[in-house]
Amino acid sequence: MINLILEHKWEILFYTEIMGWILTIFLLFARYYFQSKIAFLMSIILIFIVDYIPSIVLPVLDFFYTDNLQLWVKDGGFLFSLTAVLLFIVGGTIGKRYVKIIDDKILNIVNKRRTKNYPS
């Protein structure tokens, strides 16, 4: 089972990142458009389960099952670990800014729809 996961680690990382962004957008819609605390909390939990946990576990598994951190690109071991670390760095720095931009846009869209549907 672990070998199957490690053989497809790039695909798993790619799809978990995509699902993380989709769930982030849903989280913002749940926050503003649906105004549902339950949907907001569920999307936070899903983001951790679907995006953060696999992004943390996959490089650790790769490191332990390749027995060392390879300093060359053999079997994609070092490149995979480097990519995972870079995703964490980008997510913690630049990613926050992008989430804020998306947050502001969704808030503007929701406010425009509310004022259009309920004129004062």
- DSSP track, 16-43: HHHHHHHHHHHHHHHHHTS--HHHHHHH
Is residue 78 a part of any domain in this protein? yes
Is residue 119 a part of any domain in this protein? no
8 Å CB contact between 39 and 116? no
Mean pLDDT, rounded, of the chain:
83
Place of tokens 């995972």: 84
pLDDT of residue 49: 94
Is residue 73 a part of any domain in this protein? yes
Radius of gyration of the chain measured on its C-alpha atoms: 18
**Structurally, how many domains does the chain consist of?**
1
Measured between alpha carbons, how far is 109 from 76 in angstroms, rounded to an integer? Answer: 42
Is residue 36 a part of any domain in this protein? yes
Structural domain containing residue 67 = 2-113
8 Å CB contact between 20 and 48? no
pLDDT of residue 69: 57
Mean pLDDT value across residues 79-92: 80
Is residue 69 a part of any domain in this protein? yes
- In Å, what is the CA distance from 19 to each residue of 50, 70, 90, 119? 7, 29, 17, 36
Is residue 118 a part of any domain in this protein? no
Is residue 56 a part of any domain in this protein? yes
- Which tens digits make up the pLDDT trace of 35-82? 888 988 999 999 999 988 998 888 888 878 876 555 455 555 567 777
Q: From the CB of residue 37, how many other CB atoms can be counted at a distance below 10 Å?
A: 10
Measured between alpha carbons, how far is 97 from 27 in angstroms, rounded to an integer? Answer: 16
Is residue 107 a part of any domain in this protein? yes
